[in-house]
């Protein structure tokens, strides 16, 4: 398969998740990957991985060009999926912003979104494997709680009485933080059908204010995700 890896506004960490695949990457034809090569080629890509969020017109143009060249476009990580941590400025009331951060899906159609900050290399492997055999890649589409309980963790909201975003966050990370008695930060973004209403109710029950809960969600890695945008109007 012909691959292209592109970077917009981001820290670049997700590209390293691709490199984590190691030797098995050598079997792929990588035509464009500025992180590892200085000779890059525009071609029709079977799979184009795009990391980072769109923050200026140049990036928007680049993204449109990638979309034209890519048969299958993958948004890589929290920045590409929901604007990333740099979208945090939107939640601040004082204006004078230098730039706005947007996810890829605001401008082009995205074929697959890989969640996480950073993405898991297993998920990239699953993507490449499934596409090469012509099947649909499978990722967890359920809340993190289910993954967390599989690990044998008791619910932190009950035993430690700390707020954990796991109940509205998509699984896939293997419950890293809750396994170490830390509440989930939501780097995998909101789960499909996340029940925000019930989450607010639940967090209020724990003694947090509505303002604080909104702040926690907006300041998370996926604070500007489509599902969370309704919070900005309040």
Partner 1 sequence: MPAKKYKITPKGLENLFDLLSRNYNIVGPSVEKRLIKFKQVKSLDDIAFGFKSIEGAGFYNLERDNWWFSYNRPANTLKDFLHPGERFLTEIIKEDNEEKTFQVPRSPWQYCFFDIRSCDLQALFIMDKVFKKEPFYLDLRNRSLIIAVNCNHAMENCFCTITKTGPEIRKGFDLLLTEGEDYFLLEVGSKKGQILLDQVSDKRVPSRGELEDKNRRLRMLKGEMADKFNMENIAEKLLSRLNLTYWKEIEERCLSCGNCTSVCPTCFCYDILEKSSLSFAKTQRTIVWDSCFSPDFATINRFNIRGSLSSRYRHWILHKFVYSTLHFKRCSCVGCGRCITFCPAGIDIREEVLKVVSS
Catalog residues that contact partner 1 under the rule CB under 8 A.
21, 24, 27, 122, 125-126, 128-129, 132, 138, 141-143, 145-146, 149-152, 154-155, 157-160, 164, 166-168, 181, 191-193, 195, 197-199, 201-202, 205
Number of H helices, E strands in the chain: 9, 5
Nearest distance from residue 62's CB to partner 1, in Å? 28
Question: How would you classify the pairing of strands 47-51 and 29-33?
Answer: unpaired
Q: How far apart are CA 212 and CA 199, in angstroms?
A: 13
Nearest distance from residue 126's CB to partner 1, in Å? 7
Distance, first Cα to last Cα, the chain: 46
Task: For Cα atoms 195, 201, 206, give the angle at the middle one, nearest 5 degrees.
Answer: 125
Give me 153's structure tokens. Answer: 């963790």
Question: How would you classify the pairing of strands 112-114 and 47-51?
Answer: unpaired
Q: Which is nearer to partner 1, 28 or 91 (CB)?
A: 28
| Buried b / exposed e along 183-196 (16+ C-beta atoms within 10 A) | bbbbbbbbbeebeb
Nearest distance from residue 26's CB to partner 1, in Å? 10
For residue 32, the cross-strand partners are 4
Nearest distance from residue 180's CB to partner 1, in Å? 11
Q: Which is nearer to partner 1, 106 or 126 (CB)?
A: 126
Q: Which is nearer to partner 1, 86 or 123 (CB)?
A: 123
Q: Which is nearer to partner 1, 98 or 158 (CB)?
A: 158
Q: Which is nearer to partner 1, 92 or 201 (CB)?
A: 201
Nearest distance from residue 112's CB to partner 1, in Å? 16
């Amino acid at each position: 398969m012909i691959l292209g890896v592109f970077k917009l506004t981001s820290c670049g960490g997700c590209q390293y998740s691709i490199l984590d695949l190691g030797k098995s990457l050598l079997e792929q034809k990588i035509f464009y990957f500025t992180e590892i090569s200085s000779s890059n080629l525009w071609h029709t890509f079977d799979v184009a991985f795009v990391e980072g969020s769109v923050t200026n017109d140049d990036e928007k143009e680049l993204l449109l060009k990638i979309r034209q060249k890519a048969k299958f476009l993958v948004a890589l990580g929290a920045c590409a999926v929901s604007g990333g941590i740099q979208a945090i400025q939107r939640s601040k009331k004082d204006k004078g912003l230098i730039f706005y951060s947007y996810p890829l899906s605001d401008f082009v159609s995205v074929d697959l979104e890989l969640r996480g900050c950073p993405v898991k290399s297993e998920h990239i492997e699953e993507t490449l494997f499934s596409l090469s055999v012509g099947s649909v890649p499978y990722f967890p589409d359920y809340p993190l709680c289910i993954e967390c309980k599989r690990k044998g963790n008791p619910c932190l909201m009950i035993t430690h009485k700390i707020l954990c975003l796991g109940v509205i966050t998509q699984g896939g990370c293997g419950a890293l933080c809750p396994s170490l008695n830390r509440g989930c930060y939501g780097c995998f973004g909101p789960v499909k059908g996340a029940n925000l209403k019930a989450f607010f109710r639940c967090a209020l029950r724990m003694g947090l204010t509505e303002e604080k809960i909104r702040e926690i969600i907006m300041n998370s890695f996926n604070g500007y995700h489509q599902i969370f945008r309704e919070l900005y109007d309040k």
